[in-house]
Amino acid sequence: MVKQSFDQFSNTLHVTAVQVATVWTSPDSARAIDKLGVTVPADMQEWINGLTYEQNLALCEENRVQSQLLYGQPVIITETQGDWAHVVIPDQPSKKDERGYPGWMPHAQLREVNKSDWQSEHTAAVSSKKAWLQTESGQREMELSYLTMLPVVKVGETLVEVKTPHGNRFLQAEEVIVFPTEKGLNKGNGQKIVKAVEDFQGLDYFWGGMSAYGYDCSGLAYAAHKANGYQIARDAGDQAKAGEEVTFDKLQTGDLLFFAYEEGKGRLHHVGIYYGNGKMLHSPQTGKGIEIIELAGTVYEKELCAARRYWLETEEK
């Protein structure tokens, strides 16, 4: 996997200024029906709720969406075209660009911040499915997704003060994990990989999804590892080429399972997380929700082509 560093940033950087920003294939990819996904503020839930099955499926089949960003997540702008910015995402490794995952997003969904002002000794990661960003008086301002990460200003008994693209705000202490920025989140074992996303069962699949409003298959795998201190590639094809190779008779909970057409001999098209006891946790496809299934007797059993392990045997203290 390509190693990437935030040292790529100059004295200033651009961070995501909406709850979830969708990264598009081109400036022409977003349709009129996608307005709530490209405006400021964005409204992921209303946007997704307003899409028909066919409109949702077209995001994939017409190659419209590439990935997504969470509030406060930094990007590097490589080009601008009208109201759109071409960006790379350093913490989403990809073979498409050694600097990070590439794509287009509305420039208005980004905010420029001073790098030294943005950096902090500790970081707060949203650990609940969703959490409200609020003012000191308790007024709710923005609903944030699981694993949104923001620099910490101060940790109180009930509130954690964080830096945001819109100034200092607050999160409920019980809804975040605070960790040393330089060290990162503690590295969890395979059981923790599964536990990190197990509660999202039933959440609808969303092509390119990287948030609690909808994950695609590789987005779910990425999030499960991110929650446990591991940075893996964004796409299933890249995920299958790194980590530790695992034979099918040595599978353990938390391993990634990869699937290819033509009974495992064709193009790789899917990734799931081994749940243990012959089961898989995965985000299957548009129109279906995240589920745990038995592999035996399914098309997945026939298409299984590889397994990889990124997690450590024991949890890092």
- Measured CA distances, 144 to 101, 127, 134, 164, 191 (Å): 22, 10, 10, 12, 25
Tell me the catalytic residues: 217, 270, 282
Tell me the H-state helices in the chain: 35-38, 44-49, 53-61, 115-118, 190-198, 217-226, 236-239, 261-264, 299-303
| DSSP per residue, 162-230 | E--TTS-EEEEGGGEEEEETTT-SPPP-HHHHHHHHHTTTTPBP-TT-EETTEE-HHHHHHHHHHTTT-
| Burial (0-12, 13-18, 19+ Cβ within 10 Å), 133 | buried
112 and 12 Cβ atoms separated by less than 8 Å: yes
- The length of the chain in residues reads 317
- Measured CA distances, 81 to 37, 68, 163 (Å): 19, 19, 29
Q: Which residues of 26-54 are buried (b: 16+ CB within 10 A; e: fewer)?
A: ebebbeeebebbbeeebbbbebbeebeee
Instruction: Give the three-class secondary structure for 236.
Output: helix
